[in-house]
Chain A
Amino acid sequence: GQQLNQSPQSMFIQEGEDVSMNCTSSSIFNTWLWYKQDPGEGPVLLIALYKAGELTSNGRLTAQFGITRKDSFLNISASIPSDVGIYFCAGLPPDSNYQLIWGAGTKLIIKP
């Protein structure tokens, strides 16, 4: 079946650093979504991308829908302590209206 490879698996960063993570696949997707999950909570939608090449920002977060439709990137600028959590990408295959394919997540940890 289709899979999403999300990397890195975890990141240790200093407060104030910029962060980059990505999701890649061998298959194309029509939509890319980025979610953040805090401990003990459900995922919260950060950014939705619907068009190849699209670049969308939400505050300090910027995400891009790869031009090949097989990847997506999320950048966080000037990280702060509340950015800690797990970030998930999810993609919608062309043959589905409902079933998202999910990455395994990138865990963001701020170094003390």
Chain B
Amino acid sequence: NAGVTQTPKFQVLKTGQSMTLQCAQDMNHNSMYWYRQDPGMGLRLIYYSASEGTTDKGEVPNGYNVSRLNKREFSLRLESAAPSQTSVYFCASSRSGGTVEQFFGPGTRLTVL
């Protein structure tokens, strides 16, 4: 099992460009999450999906959109990238909301110029 996979691993964008970060899990988990990690800070939740067909805003949702494509896949879209969105983005999954043990992907390192 690959666990949680993310693509791409690295990305450089210019201000105003758009892109979609992809995430997939093969653990048959119900819940999926997108976080951003900035230097010296803990992880901050952008959006989460408790189950297929539902999405909810987290702590820092502005400037992002998400799609829970199916049970396996959860994508994060930046419609008009800004330098403040330069960060490392992590996708995670958990069996269900009742068990919060989250399993993380390797991350996408995004730089917005």
CB neighbours (8 Å) of B45 from chain A are 99-100
The stretch from A12-20, A37-45, A65-73, A77-85 touching chain B is A37-45
Bound-state Cα–Cα, A4 to B43, Å: 12
CB neighbours (8 Å) of A98 from chain B are 31, 33, 48, 50, 56, 97, 100
Contact A97/B97 with A42-B104, A45-B102 known, Cβ cut-off 8 Å: yes
Tell whether B90 is near chain A: CB-to-CB under 8 Å: yes
Return B11 CB to nearest CB of chain A, in Å: 15
Contact A99/B107 with A48-B101, A88-B43, A104-B42 known, Cβ cut-off 8 Å: no
Q: What number of B residues sit within 8 Å (CB to CB) of A?
A: 26
Tell whether B40 is near chain A: CB-to-CB under 8 Å: yes
Contact A42/B107 with A99-B48, A99-B59, A100-B102 known, Cβ cut-off 8 Å: yes
Cβ-defined contact, A45 with B103, below 8 A = yes
CB neighbours (8 Å) of A6 from chain B are 42
Q: Which of A4, A40, A92 contacts B100 (CB 8 A)?
A: A92
Q: Which bracket fits the contact residues of A?
A: 20 to 34
CB neighbours (8 Å) of B41 from chain A are 104
Tell whether A31 is near chain B: CB-to-CB under 8 Å: yes
Return A80 CB to nearest CB of chain B, in Å: 23
- Complex A-B: 14 CB contacts under 8 Å: A33-B102, A40-B106, A42-B90, A42-B92, A42-B106, A43-B90, A48-B100, A98-B31, A98-B48, A98-B56, A99-B58, A101-B42, A103-B42, A104-B42
Chain A positions near chain B (C-beta within 8 angstroms):
1, 4, 6, 31, 33, 40-45, 48, 88, 90, 92, 97-105
